Structures are given as structure tokens and as C-alpha cells.
């Protein structure tokens, strides 16, 4: 078989092909920051948050490897191999984002989260494979880190929009339910999702398969059956390169920890920075609902309840500011990590970045000031920049090109399995072992990052990948 020659791309060509990642990650940014507060606005208890986030790991587990396997066997002269999938994903993502703030009950929000996450996963998995398809090996670290840049940019805008809309546009809901300022962030995300992906689809042609590859695709299509993609996934897992099993251990700790952070950072801020307990929040909500129904509530109690409601919504905005801060740092540092990875090795840089993330999370519960608490987010942002790009460049040389889609999907299975374990297990751990303390939940996430950092040292990386010259 003749090895396909993949031409090098310019900076702006790599920029254009990855800009769709911006819209996809804006959506994930809202999932990280706004979904759990929306559940709380609709009446969910803190210990229910892990199980209410079940959509993420389940859809990722099912959809990403399946889409990867299908896209490996897809070719359209007009639309290409990967682009149809992230375009369809973006369309449904935009629709779900637009509808989400209209949720009137927890069940409705949960249902829309399932649709939203399925759409995001459909769009995102082909984007990872897109790097291997379009870039020669010596440009792949740069390509994956460009995606990391857009991860930072998209999530930054999502989170900062929550902060600024809450602070400057107002629209607080003092009678319970979702505040008006939340709507604005979701509407902006709906536009960003479809607009950014459409730009990448328009500006980036895919590389056509060779005659040999087309013949193979035709043969596989003629000899495939209904479950071919599923059997391909299991076969690929069985024959998976050793480095992917090693990455799975790293991801077990890393992504379990991240899910803990995203779920419990707002409850922690309510308690540590703004002095609002879950009991206070429930009592205030009850007073406000009674007042809304016309029942008698003393003026003192009503003022207290409105103040608690304001502090709770301020905590959501502060979460947006914190998450926006670390993603802004990610955007700034994503490409800066490339020369460090080339000089010191991707493995060493990834190890270091996970360790500084651990330090950041373990510091958070001890900081009571809403401005000082932004400082650990700098370390978190450096770590997040590494997490979103470096692991893919570490394992990409070990992945067969014709299996690139399915293996990128399997890598994302390694992400969602820890999330699934977390959603099932951490509610009990939080309540029974951590004493329903959001501070301890965040500190536990930091310890897990230490274990992730140690696990990277056991990975056998095939070879370092050079950056764009």
C-alpha cells in the first residue's frame, strides 16, 4: 500500500479547520458551569447533581466510538468524511441550547441535556480524527493544541457571558426558577455553535481517499451488516495499542476529578465565599414561593430570602468568572506549550501540568475572597490546556490511520467511563464519607489529579511529535 502524502498546512489553514471547536466548546462550557445551577434553580438537591449529569457519560460512551467507526467508513465527494457529522451535531446542539433555558422542571432540563450532549459528542469526535486526517505527523501536536486554544476560547466566552450577563444585564428571578440572564448565554451559544462549525465546513476541504482506499471503503460497505460498526469497536478495543490502556488509567483519575470540580464548585462558593448553606437556600426558596402564591411572609423574612437568592445567583456568576479565567489562560497558553513539549517531551509537560492542576484545586477550599480565588485558576488553565491537546498527540502516532475515527472515539470512551463511575458513585461518597461538604469534594478532586500525574509517568510514548515549524 502506498503511503498517502499529507501536505503541510499554514497557521491560518489550521486555524480555520479548528474554529468549529469554538462553538462546540462554548456548549460544553455552559454544561460545566450553568447546567448544575439550573438544576438547583429548579429545585434539585446538591447530592442529586452527580446522577442528574448522567447524560454526559452515557451519550459519550455510546455515541463517540460509534460515530468514529461510522465516519471511518464514510466518504462523500461533496461533504467529505468527518464534516457531515460535526455539522449535524452543531445543528442539534444549537436547537437544544436555544430551548434549554425554557426548562420548567428538572425532567425537562435533564431531557434537553441528553439531546445537547448527544449532539456535542456527534460533533466533537470527528474533530479529533480530523487532525490526523488533515495534518502530517510533525504538525499534529500543533493541531491538537490549536483545538485546545479553541477549547479555552469557547468555554471562556460561555463562562464570562454568565458572569457579565448576571452582573450587568440583571434579570434575577426572586421567586424561583431560571433567571433571565441565563437565557442570554444560551442564546449566544446557540448562534456560536452553528456559525463556527459552518465556517470550518466551508473553509476546509477534506483530503479525498486514494483509489485503493475507495475500493476498500466500497468493499466494506458491500460486506457490512447492521452491527458492523459495533463489532468494529469491540475488535478495536481488543487490539488496542498498549499506550491507550495506559492513558485510560490517567483518564480514570483525571476525568473523575474534573466532574467533581464542575459539579461542586458552585456549591463550594455559596458556602465558603458567600456564606450560604444548602439549608439557607432551601429555606429562602420556600419563603419566596410562599410570597409568590400570596401567602403571608414577614418583611424581614422576605428581605432575607431575596438576599440569599441574590447571593446564590452571584455564586453562579462567580463560577462563570472562575471557569472563564482558567479557560482564558488555556487559550493563551495552549500554543505556548508546544515548544516546551518539543524540548522536554510531551509526557513530562503533561505530567507537570496535571500536578499544578492538583495544587490549584487543593487551594480553592481555603480561599474566602472572590478575587483571590481567581489566582489558582491560572494553574488550572495551564493544566486544562495540556489536557485538551497533549494526550492526543502522545497516542496519535500509535493509531492506524484507517482506524483513526474509531480510536479517537475509544479515547473519549476513556473520558466518559470515569464520568459514569463518578455520577453513580460520588453522590454516596459526598453524603456518607465527605459529610455533604463541597469543600471536601473539591479537595478530593485535587488528590485525584495527583494520582493522574503519577500515572502519566508509566506511559510508554512511541516518540515525541514535532511542532509546526
**361: closest CA among 250, 246, 251, 256?**
256
CATH number at residue 198: 1.20.1250.20
DSSP codes of every residue in 277-335: -HHHHHHHHHHHHHHHTT----HHHHHHHHHHHHHHHHHHHHHHHHHHHHHHHHHHHTT
In a domain, 213, yes or no: no
Q: 125 is written with which cell numbers? A: 469526535
In a domain, 8, yes or no: no
What integer pLDDT is reported at residue 222 of this predicted model?
60
The number of domains in the chain is 1
User: What is the percent of the chain where pLDDT is above 70?
Assistant: 91
412, 404 Cβ separation under 8 angstroms = no
What integer pLDDT is reported at residue 215 of this predicted model?
73
What integer pLDDT is reported at residue 372 of this predicted model?
95
End-to-end Cα, the chain, rounded Å? 29
Question: What average pLDDT score do residues 68-93 get?
Answer: 79
What integer pLDDT is reported at residue 362 of this predicted model?
97
Identify the residue whose cell numbers are 458551569. Answer: 33
Question: What average pLDDT score do residues 454-468 get?
Answer: 71
4-13, 91-100, 319-328, 335-344: the lowest-pLDDT one: 4-13
Altogether, the residues listed in the chain come to a count of 469
Which domain covers residue 244, as residue numbers? 13-206+228-456
Q: List for the chain the helix, strand, coil content (%; round to 5).
A: 80, 0, 20
Confidence check: pLDDT of 256 > 90: yes
What integer pLDDT is reported at residue 367 of this predicted model?
95
Q: 51 is written with which cell numbers? A: 446522577
103-112, 164-173, 344-353: the lowest-pLDDT one: 164-173
**24: closest CA among 98, 94, 99?**
94
Higher pLDDT, 219 or 191: 191
What integer pLDDT is reported at residue 293 of this predicted model?
79
In a domain, 407, yes or no: yes
81-85, 207-211, 231-235, 424-428: the lowest-pLDDT one: 207-211
Reported as a pLDDT band with limits 50, 70 and 90, residue 280 is confident
In a domain, 6, yes or no: no
Q: 114 is written with which cell numbers? A: 441528553
State the Cα–Cα distance between residues 66 and 85, nearest whole angstrom: 11
Contacts of 106 (CB under 8 A, 6+ apart): 39, 42, 43, 44, 52
State the Cα–Cα distance between residues 177 and 200, nearest whole angstrom: 37
Reported as a pLDDT band with limits 50, 70 and 90, residue 401 is confident
In a domain, 366, yes or no: yes
What integer pLDDT is reported at residue 331 of this predicted model?
86
User: What is the per-residue pLDDT across 147-199, written as a single tens digit (0 to 9) for each?
Assistant: 888 887 888 888 788 778 877 776 555 555 677 778 888 899 899 888 988 89
State the Cα–Cα distance between residues 143 and 130, nearest whole angstrom: 10
What integer pLDDT is reported at residue 260 of this predicted model?
93
In a domain, 342, yes or no: yes
What integer pLDDT is reported at residue 4 of this predicted model?
61
In a domain, 193, yes or no: yes
69-78, 107-116, 119-128: the lowest-pLDDT one: 69-78
In a domain, 216, yes or no: no
What integer pLDDT is reported at residue 257 of this predicted model?
96
Amino acid at each position: 500500500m502506498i503511503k498517502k502524502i499529507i501536505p503541510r498546512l499554514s497557521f491560518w489553514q489550521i486555524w480555520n479547520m479548528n474554529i468549529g471547536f469554538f462553538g462546540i466548546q462554548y456548549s460544553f462550557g455552559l454544561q460545566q458551569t450553568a447546567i448544575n445551577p439550573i438544576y438547583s434553580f429548579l429545585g434539585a438537591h446538591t447530592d442529586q447533581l452527580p446522577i442528574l449529569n448522567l447524560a454526559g457519560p452515557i451519550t459519550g460512551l455510546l455515541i463517540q466510538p460509534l460515530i468514529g467507526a461510522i465516519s471511518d467508513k464514510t466518504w462523500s465527494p461533496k461533504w467529505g468524511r468527518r464534516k457531515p457529522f460535526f455539522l449535524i451535531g452543531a445543528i442539534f446542539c444549537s436547537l437544544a441550547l436555544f430551548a434549554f433555558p425554557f426548562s420548567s422542571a428538572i425532567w425537562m432540563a435533564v431531557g434537553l441535556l441528553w439531546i445537547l450532549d448527544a449532539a456535542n459528542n456527534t460533533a466533537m469526535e470527528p474533530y479529533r480524527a480530523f487532525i490526523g486526517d488533515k495534518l502530517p505527523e510533525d504538525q499534529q501536536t500543533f493541531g491538537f493544541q490549536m483545538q485546545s486554544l479553541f477549547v479555552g476560547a469557547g468555554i471562556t466566552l460561555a463562562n464570562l457571558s454568565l458572569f457579565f450577563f448576571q452582573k450587568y444585564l440583571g434579570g434575577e428571578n426572586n421567586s424561583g426558577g431560571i433567571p433571565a440572564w441565563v437565557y442570554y448565554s444560551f442564546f449566544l451559544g446557540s448562534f456560536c455553535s452553528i456559525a463556527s462549525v459552518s465556517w470550518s465546513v466551508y473553509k476546509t476541504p477534506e483530503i479525498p481517499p486514494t483509489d485503493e482506499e475507495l475500493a476498500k471503503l466500497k468493499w466494506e460497505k458491500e460486506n457490512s451488516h447492521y452491527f458492523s460498526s459495533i463489532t468494529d469497536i469491540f475488535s478495536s478495543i481488543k487490539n488496542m495499542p498498549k499506550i491507550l490502556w495506559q492513558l485510560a488509567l490517567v483518564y480514570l483519575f483525571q476525568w473523575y476529578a474534573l466532574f467533581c470540580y464542575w459539579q461542586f464548585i458552585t456549591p463550594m462558593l455559596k458556602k465558603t465565599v458567600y456564606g450560604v448553606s444548602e439549608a439557607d437556600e432551601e429555606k429562602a426558596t420556600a419563603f419566596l414561593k410562599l410570597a409568590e402564591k400570596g401567602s403571608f411572609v414577614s418583611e424581614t423574612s422576605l428581605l432575607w430570602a431575596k438576599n440569599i437568592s441574590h447571593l446564590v445567583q452571584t455564586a453562579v456568576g462567580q463560577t462563570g468568572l472562575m471557569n472563564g479565567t482558567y479557560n482564558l489562560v488555556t487559550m493563551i497558553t495552549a500554543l505556548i506549550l508546544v515548544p516546551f513539549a518539543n524540548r522536554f517531551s510531551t509526557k513530562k509537560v503533561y505530567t507537570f501540568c496535571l500536578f499544578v492542576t492538583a495544587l490549584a484545586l487543593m487551594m480553592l477550599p481555603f480561599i474566602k475572597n472572590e478575587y483571590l480565588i481567581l489566582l489558582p485558576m491560572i494553574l488550572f488553565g495551564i493544566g486544562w490546556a495540556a489536557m485538551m491537546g497533549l494526550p492526543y498527540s502522545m497516542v496519535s502516532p500509535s493509531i492506524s490511520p484507517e482506524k483513526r475515527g474509531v480510536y479517537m472515539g475509544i479515547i473519549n470512551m476513556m473520558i466518559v467511563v470515569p464520568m459514569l463511575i463518578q455520577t453513580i458513585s460520588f453522590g454516596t461518597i459526598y453524603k456518607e464519607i465527605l459529610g455533604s461538604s463541597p469543600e471536601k469534594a473539591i479537595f478530593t478532586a485535587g488528590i485525584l489529579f495527583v494520582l493522574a500525574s503519577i500515572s502519566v509517568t508509566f506511559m510508554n510514548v512511541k516518540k515525541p511529535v514535532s511542532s509546526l515549524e
